[in-house]
Amino acid sequence: MAVSGSKDFEPDVAEYIEEAFERCGLELRTGYDARTARRSLNFLFADWANRGLNRWTIEQVTQNVASDIIEYPLGTITLSVAASGSFTIAETITGGTSGVTASIITKPSSTSMTITVPSGTFTASETITGSSSSATTTVSSVPSLENVQSSIDILSAVIRRSSQDISIQRMSRDDYLNIPDKTTTGRPVQFYVDRQITPIIKIWPAPENNTDQIIYDRLVRIDDADTSINTAQIPFRFYPCLAAGLAYYISLKRAPDRVQVLKTLYEEEFDRAASEDRDRASLSIVPSESSLRVTG
């Protein structure tokens, strides 16, 4: 007998739901059955985000920094615009099928300013009006970004200056709060992630130029299971875990007599998948010479 020669098995949401119902000893019958199962599937994805690191959802983001600006909402883009004068108002940027309004923060009489633009695709031009002059620039084919609420956390970050990446350390909310002067400028050496609904990364000291970049790895949420024809945004090794988890979630509502056995199976499947989903690097432990003692 010959093997299939294919490695493209990828269940869609409907197939995961059918598998989960069968494990509960049930049969998928109505549209409501599918709808409630998709809702459970999305709750399951949220549970995975709380359980730990899903390495296939890590994205690396390069963010241009601006002089004296310390806060950068995750999932936005920053545009540098040539302008002059004292700008103290907001501007409207129109592009694609809708318009958005974004606020600007600049120093008076500056030769450049920074605009933070929310997610979206912009192909038109925007006009910025200040107290003493106005400037117009063109935003050309800015790529669409994920919703800012897709960011879960920041894993690590560096500051890139003159093609050199310099590590910066994460600090806690208390550490950031206790910095006496948050307006101090220099090369950033620390960052704090304010984990609001729209997370914000705050860096310190405030950037001293407009040429540095902050590069960070962010953990983003798994794509929602919106329709039954969607596939799940997970790697092959997590297929059994997803089916087991969905069966457990459905059993809580439809098959209470199977809750315990399905929960146990789900936890076993998750442990196996999570153990596989890890970095593998050699670990070398070398004792410090200062800890050695010679005895006669």
Q: What is the pTM of this model?
A: 0.71
Place of tokens 């633009």: 117
Confidence class of residue 283 from pLDDT cuts 50, 70 and 90? low
* Six token digits for residue 204: 């310190």
Distance CA 137, CA 88 (A): 18
**Is the sign of the CA dihedral 256, 258, 264, 270 positive or negative?**
negative
Amino acid at 282: S
Q: Output the 3-class SS for the chain.
A: CCCCCCCCCCCEHHHHHHHHHHHCCCCCCCHHHHHHHHHHHHHHHHHHHHHCCCHHHEEEEEEECCCCCCEEECCCEEEEEECCCCCCCCEEEEECCEEEEECEECCCCCCEEEEEECCCCECCEEEEECCCCEEEEECCCECCCCCHHHEEEEEEEEEEECCEEEEEEECCHHHHHCCCCCCCEECCCEEEEECCCCCEEEEECEECCCCCEEEEEEEECCCCCCCCCCECCCCHHHHHHHHHHHHHHHHHHHCHHHHHHHHHHHHHHHHHHHHHCCCCCCCCCCCCHHHCCCCC
Distance CA 274, CA 245 (A): 13
Give the mean pLDDT of 7-27. 96
Give the mean pLDDT of 234-246. 96
What local confidence, expressed as pLDDT, does residue 199 receive?
Answer: 85
Distance CA 26, CA 15 (A): 14
* Six token digits for residue 250: 């459905």
Distance CA 73, CA 79 (A): 14
* Six token digits for residue 114: 């920074």
What local confidence, expressed as pLDDT, does residue 197 receive?
Answer: 79
Q: For residue 152, give the nearest of 206, 75, 210, 243 by alpha carbon.
A: 75
What local confidence, expressed as pLDDT, does residue 194 receive?
Answer: 93
Percent of the chain with pLDDT over 90: 52
Confidence class of residue 107 from pLDDT cuts 50, 70 and 90? very low
Confidence class of residue 75 from pLDDT cuts 50, 70 and 90? low
CB atoms within 10 A of CB 126: 22
Q: Do 3 and 212 form a contact (C-beta atoms < 8 A)? A: no
Distance CA 135, CA 84 (A): 8
Alpha-carbon 225 to chain mean position: 18
Does the structure show a pLDDT above 60 at 89? no
Confidence class of residue 141 from pLDDT cuts 50, 70 and 90? very low
Q: Do 223 and 233 form a contact (C-beta atoms < 8 A)? A: yes
Give the mean pLDDT of 268-291. 77
Give the mean pLDDT of 142-156. 64
**Cα–Cα distances in angstroms (integers) from residue 102 to residues 99, 135, 249, in the given order:** 10, 16, 41
Give the mean pLDDT of 19-48. 96
Q: Mean pLDDT, the chain, as a whole number?
A: 78
